[in-house]
Structure formats: structure tokens, C-alpha cells
Amino acid sequence: MGLTASSVASVSVSPPALSFSVMGTPSARKLLQAASFVVHLLGPKHAALARDFARTGGARFTPEQGWSTLPSGEPILPDALAAMRVAPLQLVPVGDSTIVVAQVLDVFHGPEDGRLIHHAREFITLPFTTLTPERTGS
């Protein structure tokens, strides 16, 4: 099973942990029962994949999408910006959603090829840029 979470946040450095929320969809219910799973940070070339995972009946884990399997059994997308194998620490029901707090067990780095942002119900792609510190004074 797979789904698209529109927001993933860092929670803790020690232990390394992240959070996101899910609605009560069939995929989310399966995810909430999993002992571990992989959270992917997607880049611009993954906009179609993110759309597929966001809608009921969208293509999931197809060979064309480029999936592999970790030795622990979870699917992984090797060309994602990053992938984190996690284990749930806490599940917090809030209304019709559940906040998932998960400990990061492993981190896998992929290519740095830009950003995929979800805003106003659309995916926006932005290149990585190097920020130059602002200089003040002389």
C-alpha cells in the first residue's frame, strides 16, 4: 500500500523522528498497522507518481515507476531525493485523521534534482538553488 502525505515534519533529533498525518483511507488504515514503512521525499520528476499515490485507484509500485525492495521487505524508490525507513512510535487520533510519529531507522540518499512542493492542490517543481549569505557592513 502507498499514499501521498502532503506534509512531513521533523520531530526529534534523538531519537531521530518525523511526523505526518493521514486520513481514514484504506491505504492509511494499512499503514497504521505496519511495523515499519518507508517515507520518501520526492523530486520534480515524481509529480505524476505523487498524484497516482494521492488518488484512489492510482498506479502504485509499478516497474515503470522504478521501485526496488529493501532487504527488510519494504518498497523503496532509489531515485527519490531521500527515503527513510521508519517505525511508528505514536499514533494520535485527531478528528477523522491520525498523526503518525515515527522513528527513523535508516536513511537512503538519492540524487539532488530539485524540489516537489504541493500547494493550492497543485504540485510545483523548483530547482535546488544555492543561497548566498547576505553581507552587511563593509
DSSP 134: P
The mean of the pLDDT values for the chain is 87
pTM confidence score: 0.84
Question: How does pLDDT run across 110-121, given as a tens digit for each residue?
Answer: 988 877 877 677
pLDDT digits (tens, 9 = 90+) for 35-75: 999 999 998 888 889 888 888 888 899 889 999 999 999 99
Binned at pLDDT 50, 70 and 90, residue 129 comes out as low
Residue 130 has pLDDT above 70, yes or no: no
Q: Are 10 and 18 in contact (CB under 8 A)?
A: yes
Do 43 and 126 form a contact (C-beta atoms < 8 A)? no
Is pLDDT of 134 > 90? no
